[in-house]
Chains A and B, each alone.
Chain A
Amino acid sequence: MSGRRIGVYVCHCGGNISDYVDVERVVQAVKDNDDVVVVRDAMFTCSDATQQEIATDIAEQQLDGLVVASCSPKLHTFTFRDVARRAGLNPYEYTQVNIREQCSWTHTDDRDGATRKAVKLVRAGIARTRLSEPLEPLEVETMPRVLVIGGGIAGMRAAIGLADIGLSVFLVERKLELGGWVGGFGEMFPHAKKGRALIAELKDEIKRRPAITVFTNAELTAKSGTYGNYRAVVRANGESIELEVGQIVVTTGFDSYEPEAGQYGYGIDGVLTLPEFKRLLDESEGPLLHEGKPVRNIAYVYCVGSRDAEHPYCSRFCCSAAVHASLLAVDRDADIRQYHLYRDLRTYGKNELMFNESRKRGSLYLKFADDDLPKVARNDDGLSVTVRDLLTAGEEVTIAADLVVLVTGMVPRQNEELVRTLKLPVGQDGFFNEIHPKLRPVETVVDGVMIAGACQGPKTSAESVASGLAAVAQGAAVLKRGVAELDPQVAVVNVSACTSCGECVAACPFGAISLTTTNGSDGPGVAVIDAAACKGCGGCVPVCPEDAIDLKGYTDSQVRAMIDGLLVGAET
């Protein structure tokens, strides 16, 4: 007995756990454990009712430790720390035990085994809590300035949004001009405005805001510092500038897929990508001409560079963009014949109206099977596209076309240096990864570095703007307060045991450890850990030959106690 008073709550997760784990048995198995003064089960421990119950228990039973056995700590650590805080218990006296992802969901075929494992996991959690101690979050003052990387429509609009809430912005654009893809576009959907005009408007707005400093022909070359206080080095026009910022928003956009030579006849005269076709539409007037010849027949081949083995994702915007382009084409020549060769037509939401209009105005749609792709060839009469059309009972149709438009999708922009500099997480599809699409959609695992626009995944222009503004809201929620709280579960050095060997410095992925040489005049110095930079990953702990580093919240003794907890009563 350690004299602790620990409350344990075992969650059913509405069946997610209790369908596979005998929750009542878990409760019974731990209720007589030392120091456990209250054990309860709950349908949804995260529900407000149970939260209240826990808070009442903390107060009435004078709990000094809290264990919730439920889902992944990624989901609810903050939820229950908050419960503890509201009830007057130090949030770091709380341990979350994962009996869902790491137990019930992985052992759906073995109720008995899953139950025994859950018991052990909970005991380990109790063991850790027994040795927990109160910790106070590190408070750091944050810089009311934001670095926005990428001067496309999302970055420009985000910069304006940040400035409007009272934050200073540095907007960094690699090219000579702001504007990104949209700056080169003519008429866009669904609002029929020209991309160029939108960008011109944003440029005006930026000029009117002294809080925004624009660097064009510029790139981020280095980033250091800690959450809320980053030092970013930007090379603009060949000159390095050091900027101090509280946060970074990455809005570096996308690349358009470039078909390989020969793919759907790409390379043959008259076979264009969607951006090339849009440029053709934008840069001419009157009836469409290609190479001086009138364009009377257009075939569109959809999903080029999307939904294939190499790019298994859907690029989202291209169906709507191609349909919109065909409407522009028919505006120019009411008698033009247009053939759309598609797999699934994804004019989602209100974009469906464009699809309807295009059919009304003569576009024909032909559906090909995923494994039976159209073939584009050049013969004496011009281009021909052969397709097996499922909508006409699988008939093979050959279309004579003056132009073939390959409806190309979005691919992630290659940005190795930026990825390296910011340690940006890249997803399987090559786009940058958010922490969670619903809980934290613009944040990355790198504190204070957010992503918005198409660098996170394919989006339309308006959707990119919305996500840019969402990053504004997320950023302002921290920077408007001026203070950020950091997790105090960080590594600490026992200076009397440290021999300054430097192993930990090499092991730290965050550059949080340095060796001092100033510890006395003749000593070898010690390792010093910057608490604000330390992420509490624990990587330094096992490499220390002197066992001189401990991780708060996960001390060696706590980890040993957890292991003991896992092993006790193996027969249960």
Chain B
Amino acid sequence: MDYDVLVVGSGIGGMESALKLGDMGYKVLVVEKEPSIGGKMILLSKVFPTLDCASCISTPKMAATAHHPNVTVLTGSEVARIGRDERDGFHATVHRKPRFVDESLCTGCRQCEVACTVAVPDQFNGDMVSRRAAYIPFPQALPQKALIERVGTSPCSFNCPAGIKAHGYVSLVRTGEYEKAFALVAETTPLAGSLGRACYAPCETECTRGSLEGPLAIRRLKRFVADTHYALPEPPAVDRLASNGKRVAVVGSGPAGLTAAWQLARKGYGVKIFEAAPEPGGALRLAIPSYRLPAEVVERDIANVTDLGVEIATDTRVEDLEQLRRDGFDAVLVATGTPNAARLRVPGEEELDGVRSALGFLRDIKLGEAPDLSGKVVAVIGGGNVAIDTARSARRLGVAAVHMVCLESRAEMPAYQWEVDEALDEGVELHDGWGIAGFRGDPRVESVELRLCTSVFDENGRFSPSYDDSVRDELSCDLAIVAVGMGADTAAFPELVPEGARSIQADPATLQTAVPWVFSAGDAVTGPTTIAEAVGHGRKAAFMIDGWLSGSELAGFDEPLPVVDRAEVLARQRSHSRREPLVTEVHVAGALASFAELEDPLTEAEARAAAGRCLDCGVCSECHECIAACPADAINLDMRAKDVEIDIGAVIVSTGYKLFPADLKPQYGYGRFQNVITGTQMERLLAPTRPYNTVLRPSDGKVPERVAYVMCTGSRDQTVGNPLCSKFCCMYSIKQNQLIMGVLPLADVTVHYIDIRAVGKGYDEFFEQAKAMGTNFVKGRVAGITEKENGDLVLRFEDIDNGGVLAEAEYDLVVLAVGVQPNADASHLFAPGELALDEYAYVDEVAEDLNPAATSIPGVFVAGAASGPRDIPESILHAGAAVSQAAAHLERMKVPA
């Protein structure tokens, strides 16, 4: 048996149980789902009827629990399931949620909290103020250790093929930390400038704001960050490890190769890039038109890599991998992309002048050798992104007309719709749904012969066009540019292309090829993809090469938390202001005169506003600021949940209660009227660690002069399905009355009640004391609350003491005395139905008359409010009842049957 007793929940009932059992010499495990022990009591102001400070009673119990030699505490953990074993004992699975902070290292210094860029409502302060995603729950929390709230990976980050922490840099921009945002992107890739312009931004497609006013301009924020960094006179040096003496050759300098080289160089490898073309950058430098991605930007991105000492040998075609090995490279990455243009294989394509490939055409332009097309008619064949780039580039070379011919209907075109729109805006003429039968002319092309395409894909969705050859057309042109796909150039690497394969083969998990020291990444292995995907692949290759060269297992690359459900993100917003997305203006007029960049950069104000729209879907943005700030190196975002299996002799269920959600009484306006708050929120306003340091009303910070209490909110109320009395709301309200009158001696306090239930030692006397201090008790229910323009509230109520008339009164602040509801956690501890509940879903005390705290399961006891409303003294006595019977159960287990 690992422990004698498992105590589930560490509120006052749980702590009391653990301490008493520990004192008796039993070994106790306390499992608490919150990050601190203490339950609800530690968050109270003072406690009735003695007006002791709640902290003063709770903190010593918390410390005693945590330090008791016989008590072990697991916070941030949930009991997943308890099952009976064969000896009257139990087996339990405890699910330990990751804290993302190593408790043994954290000193509670709160540096992470200061550095954290995400603010969310502070649940430990009644959501009235905010806290950070990295936080220590409250000043008296135990353990006094930070944790990071991560509900999952934000959709933008999760969907980035490059693996860039998009939410992170958005969050840093929001905070004004542009340089840190750049550094965060640079953790992944040196190509921030290029991606900030030419990435197709799947992050934005998935942005949760997209289902509200429109997604954040995440890509443009990256461009802003890159531009800002590149404008620095002296950009800070990049963190890198000392040289490890190993060398890696990277073949190809496209996004995959550059990213891999960057990652490896920062890890201390000596890296040399071999590039066949005269300029490095691959598609970035040689294919993507400058109006989308200027060459200087690519060059600046590449300078990040060369600044690390990475050598790039251009005009150098690698023909012999073995030679690289002989030259002293420990590993080689082949990231040669897809330089070979696909062909139509139709008559005239090979033979005629003036029929050429799009890749060559774009490359010529990017290398400064743009053809003069003045007055010419150009036909571009293809419907993808390259075809669009080609057509739009041609438009900038003085053509008379550009025709785009593609098999697909417009809706089916593989190019992004917005790209097609922009091309059409620029005057490109689209001929969709046509196949190419051949090219005519002699020796120069004069026209393209078209045939009707009846379908592009077969029934399995595979590319398999069929044509109606009877329907034909002809398109005159001076130049035909074919943009129908591209492929890898494998000629130099026969050892990487196995028998029967047509492309380089690498293990998809490790990117290792048949030659162990050769890895391959990017489009060379995947076929044509996007820049971001190539970047992601390059980073993965670097990870694997590093792993292989340092002899570790080739696993563990990028294991993000599951993506956050966007519907849940929207559901958890209590309110959010409407924030319009940026309007992107594209200057078509004049654009055709040059290859100048089309898109304007964001101004700083625009960038901050754009980033400010972020909903912090995953809560933690993975901006890594906490990691940088932590002096103890305690932060570990790679922590994951784990299950612990334990055997125990007895169980005490002390899962407490839930508070009634006050918005379920819409007539009281909670959630709509800012100055209608709950009793628990008033507790926080009165607590020693109060958020505003006095009692203020939330809407305007005014000191309230007229405060009303609405008793029985959610209790004794059939309309919300709870006929039960919550037992302690009368008393906590009476306590708050007295405290308010202490803090605000001029305030008038009125309590609208049904019956004042001051049952308990000294309670009725406490009630009389409140009356004597001046609380005005008005018998009768409150029918509804309306809000005035200035935030004041009008209560409509029955005044029974004055003849039962309906009356109205105005207040500055209204406190809803919310009652309790059962906590469903208790019912999930055991197999369904095993732990009996009463008809209101509280844990049933099956023999309350003689064995209070005993449940339907022998050996399982309930302590405190898990079995019904109980105040603190009652919960403590009830815990005593649970403890004495749990001890009796354990003693019986010791006796052999």
Contacts and interface: CB of A to CB of B under 8 A. Distances in A.
Interface string A338-377: 0000001111111111001000000000010100000000
B800 A349 contact: no
B55 A391 contact: no
B536 interface: no
Nearest to A70: B56
A181 interface: no
Interface string A81-92: 010001000000
A439 B756 contact: no
Contacts of A52: 144
Contacts of B872: 438
B225 to A, nearest CB: 37
B874 interface: yes
Contacts of A153: 850
Interface stretch (A224-232, A463-471, A493-501): A463-471
Contacts of B688: 13-16, 44
Interface string A107-134: 0000000000000000000000000000
Interface string B689-701: 1100100000000
B213 interface: no
A352 B765 contact: no
Contacts of A191: 848-849
Interface in B859-878: 868-870, 872-874, 876-878
B590 interface: no
A465 B874 CA distance: 12
A364 B803 CA distance: 18
A397 interface: no
Given A316-B759, A349-B724, A86 B884 contact: no
Contact of A442 (B690, B848, B877): B877
A75 B56 contact: yes
Given A13-B56, A188-B849, A164 B888 contact: yes
B852 interface: yes
B393 interface: no
A43 B139 contact: yes
A476 B881 contact: no
B61 to A, nearest CB: 8
Nearest to A468: B881
B891 interface: yes
A349 B47 contact: no
B281 interface: no
Contact of B725 (A312, A347, A394): A347
Task: Give the contact-size bracket for chain B.
Answer: 35 or more
Interface in B870-897: 870, 872-874, 876-881, 883-885, 887-888, 891-892
A155 to B, nearest CB: 13
B880 A437 contact: no
B108 interface: yes
B763 interface: yes
B512 to A, nearest CB: 49
A138 interface: no
B683 to A, nearest CB: 13
B67 A82 contact: yes
B143 A48 contact: yes
Interface centre among B57, B853, B884 (most CB of A within 10 A): B884
A79 interface: yes
Nearest to B804: A393
A429 B24 CA distance: 33
A367 B57 contact: no
Contacts of B47: 438
Given A438-B873, A472-B880, A477 B57 contact: no
Contacts of B851: 465
A438 B762 contact: no
B142 interface: yes
A473 B887 contact: yes
A466 B852 contact: yes
B759 A476 contact: no
B768 interface: yes
Contact of A456 (B64, B144, B761, B883): B761
B877 A76 contact: no
B716 interface: yes
Contact of B59 (A47, A345, A462): A47
B778 to A, nearest CB: 12
B727 A349 contact: yes
B885 A349 contact: no
B876 A470 contact: yes
Nearest to A15: B688
B723 A352 contact: yes
Interface in B10-28: 12, 20, 23-25
A166 interface: yes
Contacts of B763: 313-314
Which of B64, B108, B757, B763 neighbours the largest number of chain A CB atoms within 10 Å of its CB? B757
Contacts of A461: 849
A276 interface: no
B60 A78 contact: yes
Contact of A51 (B63, B693, B801): B63
Contact of B848 (A190, A346, A356, A481): A190
A170 interface: no
A48 B755 contact: no
B140 interface: yes
A288 B877 CA distance: 39
Contacts of B892: 164
A82 B60 CA distance: 10
Contacts of B765: 312-313
A352 B716 contact: yes
A533 B838 CA distance: 49
Interface string B141-153: 0111000000000
A480 interface: yes
A452 to B, nearest CB: 9
A463 B874 contact: yes
B874 A348 contact: no
A535 interface: no
Enumerate the 6 nearest inter-chain pairs by beta-carbon distance, A residue then B residue, closest first: A470-B880, A14-B688, A164-B888, A477-B23, A49-B144, A469-B881
Given A314-B758, A465-B849, 16 more contacts: A13-B53, A16-B53, A46-B56, A48-B59, A75-B60, A79-B64, A82-B64, A166-B891, A344-B758, A348-B727, A367-B779, A393-B804, A438-B872, A466-B853, A466-B874, A473-B879
14 contacts: A13-B53, A14-B139, A75-B56, A164-B885, A313-B761, A313-B763, A314-B759, A347-B725, A353-B724, A390-B779, A462-B849, A469-B881, A470-B879, A470-B884
Interface of B: 12, 20, 23-25, 47, 50, 52-53, 55-57, 59-60, 62-64, 66-67, 108, 139-140, 142-144, 687-690, 693, 716, 723-727, 755-765, 768, 779, 800-801, 803-804, 838, 840, 848-853, 868-870, 872-874, 876-881, 883-885, 887-888, 891-892
